[in-house]
Amino acid sequence: MIYVGTKEQFYGLEQIIMDNYKFSSLNLIAKAATSLLPFLSSKPRKYLIFVGWGNNGAQGLALAQLIVKKNLGNNVKVVFCAPKLDFVARQTAANKHLTNLIIQQQKIDICYLDNSEYHEWLIECEEIIDCIFGLSFEGDMPENSQELITDINKSSKPILACDIPSGIVNDKENIPTVAIKATRTVTFFIYKTAFINYQIIPFLGKVYLTSLDFDQEKINEFCSEIIDNKIFVVNDVKIEPRPLVTNKGNYGKIMLFGSNNDYLNAGTIAANMAIQAGAGHLTWVIPQELRNYLVNTVLEMTYCDASDRSKILDLLEKVINVVIFGPGTGRTERTLNLLKLVLDNYEGRIVIDADGINVLTPELLRKLKNRAIITPHPQEFARLINKRLEIVLSERVALAKELANKYKIIVILKGYQTIITDGDLTYINSTGNPYMATPGMGDALTGLIASLCGQGYSNLMASYLGVYLHGFCGDLVAQTKKPVLATDVVNKIGNVIAQIINSSY
């Protein structure tokens, strides 16, 4: 898990690290520059590094020297991003020290912003490194800096941003003027609060996190002293191996309410995923008239006639410990009545998706206390809380936490960086890709989460673990196939679970 923090929290963390490891600011800058090297191109390139007068700029200056020293670039140029007199007057001590070293070595071409030479360099370079403002930026951006960032973005060259793209104010929802639109961002120690903001995310490119070769567990220990927002990025998971002496009854007895005439295979996808992910037993409740169409779609499960109310209630009372409700049931009166029946006659855990969410009322939500997981996409969530979609997208974390806390449920607000929260702890998923935006993908996720619940994970852990694994499968598939289908993810889950278990033990 990775902490998510504000600018001040990050600076506090830096100070704790320097105090504990007896590092100076210059030492930390050198480590930051070294940590950027693995994210450069594997082949020597013509690098153009834009540096500001602060310590973010100092990291860029240290990086320029390392590129030359290690022969990683066949041409390295540095642009000091202000007129010379202004730049010199505002330099930090570390920045000034590293500037003097570069000038003395005479191996790197430099220019200031009052020299138009950088326009030609922009055309000639093969990659740009942004070390202009970093996390320290706030207030009004000088007009010449705005023009510079606009020119950089127009260059269409690959851009690596150091810590955070310049122009982004970490603790604000919007970009005040302009910002670097990076191809990739290498950030240090923690995710910044801006990185979970949908309005900021398009400027980040792919985000990589580096702990500068410090132990990440130790970094997290330091974070716990100063970051109290209880928001974490899920960047890794573990799965416990099964004991040698066991049986399928230990891994969940699931009942699925899913599919209708219009969405026949929504339930098929959820059921197959639950089984493939390790569920011990699954009973699918479907109308008799659909059974002939669906009977061979999931070979490892049993069926229950939807009209056999007494059998359904008996199973719910005596056997079932996890319910999946909603995939493909339709937004109908029948779905509403069926959900009422389940909630009134079953006290166990339930995962509600799709049309199960669409028929939820405040009265039904109150019946979900301490046992339910709901998995809305943003539009479903907007309907559920009666807010406009744009409000949901701009306040995702706060609104998801509010609903989860109000009804004491787990809310999984799907999308890029899916949010998982119980109203107290919040997890931001780091896996998944846009090629997973295909039919049935939510059904697969629902089946996976229910399967994990049945295998003994808590509702919250099953939720963030399931979301992570779901996205991880999609990322693996996307390496060789695009788009990614729900069935691709279902077919991949067993391999992914084996990979994680085998790598952990």
Question: Cα 266 vs. chain centroid, distance in angstroms?
Answer: 25
> Does 415 count as an annotated binding residue?
yes
pLDDT at 187: 98
CATH class of 248-504: alpha beta
The per-residue pLDDT for 43 is: 82
pLDDT in tens, 96-150: 999 999 998 888 999 999 988 899 999 999 999 999 999 999 989 999 999 999 9
Transcribe 265-326 into DSSP letters. Answer: THHHHHHHHHHHTT-SEEEEEE-HHHHHHHTTT-TT-EEEETT-HHHHHHHHHHT-SEEEE-
Domain(s) labelled CATH 3.40.1190.20 in the chain stretch across 248-504
**For residue 505, what pLDDT is reported?**
58
pLDDT at 294: 87
Is 266 annotated to bind ligand? Answer: yes
In whole angstroms, give the CA distance from residue 8 to residue 365: 38
pLDDT of residue 302: 94
How confident is the model over 325-352, as pLDDT tens digits? 999 999 999 999 999 999 999 999 999 9
CB atoms within 10 A of CB 120: 11
2-228: what fold? Answer: Rossmann fold (3.40.50)
CB 191 within 8 A of CB 4: yes
How far is Cα of residue 230 from the mean position of the Cα atoms in its chain? 15
In which order are the strands placed within the sheet that holds 349-352?
Answer: 191-192, 2-5, 231-234, 426-429, 419-421, 410-413, 372-374, 349-352, 322-325, 253-257, 281-286, 302-305
- Taking the CA atoms of 21, 9, 378 and 389 in sequence, report the sign of the dihedral they define: negative
Q: Is the pLDDT of residue 263 over 90?
A: yes
Alpha-carbon distance 26 to 99, whole Å?
13
pLDDT value at residue 321: 98
Q: Is 492 annotated as a binding residue?
A: no
Q: Flag whether 464 is marked binding.
A: no
Question: Is residue 416 part of an annotated ligand binding site?
Answer: yes
Please check if 447 is assigned to a binding site: no
Residue 503 has pLDDT above 90, yes or no: no
Which residues, 6+ apart, have CB-to-CB distance to 466 below 8 Å? 445, 448, 449, 451, 452
Q: Is the pTM of this model over 0.85?
A: yes
For the chain, percent of residues with pLDDT exceeding 70: 100
Exposed, middle or buried: residue 69 (CB in 10 Å: 0-12, 13-18, 19+)? exposed
* Model confidence at 61: pLDDT above 90: yes
State the chain's mean pLDDT as an integer.
Answer: 96
pLDDT score of 193 more than 80: yes
Task: Provide CATH 3.40.50.10260 ranges for the chain.
Answer: 2-228
Per-residue pLDDT at 44: 78
Residue 504 has pLDDT above 90, yes or no: no
What is the spatial distance between Cα 245 and Cα 197, in angstroms, rounded to a whole number? 46
Angle 231-217-204 from CA coordinates, rounded to 5°: 50
pLDDT for 453 equals 98
How high is the pLDDT of residue 295?
80
Torsion angles phi and psi, residue 345, rounded to 5? -125, 10
Look at the alpha carbons of 482, 484, 487, 490 in this order and tell me if their dihedral is positive or negative: positive
Q: Is 417 annotated as a binding residue?
A: yes
User: Is 154 marked as binding a ligand?
Assistant: no
**Residue 41 reports pLDDT greater than 90:** no
Give the type of residue at 237: V
* pLDDT of 386 higher than 90: yes
Any known ligand binding at 414? Answer: yes
Q: What is the DSSP secondary structure assignment for residue 407, as one 8-state letter?
A: H
Render pLDDT for 400-456 as a digit per residue (tens, 0 to 9): 999 999 999 999 999 999 999 999 999 999 999 999 999 999 999 999 999 999 999
Model pLDDT, residue 58 = 98
Query: Where does the pLDDT of residue 77 fall: very low under 50, low under 70, confident under 90, or very high at 90 and above?
Result: very high
Q: Using CA of residue 380, residue 384, residue 388, residue 393, what is the dihedral sign?
A: negative
pLDDT in tens, 466-488: 999 999 999 999 999 999 999 99
Determine whether the annotation assigns residue 9 to a binding site. no
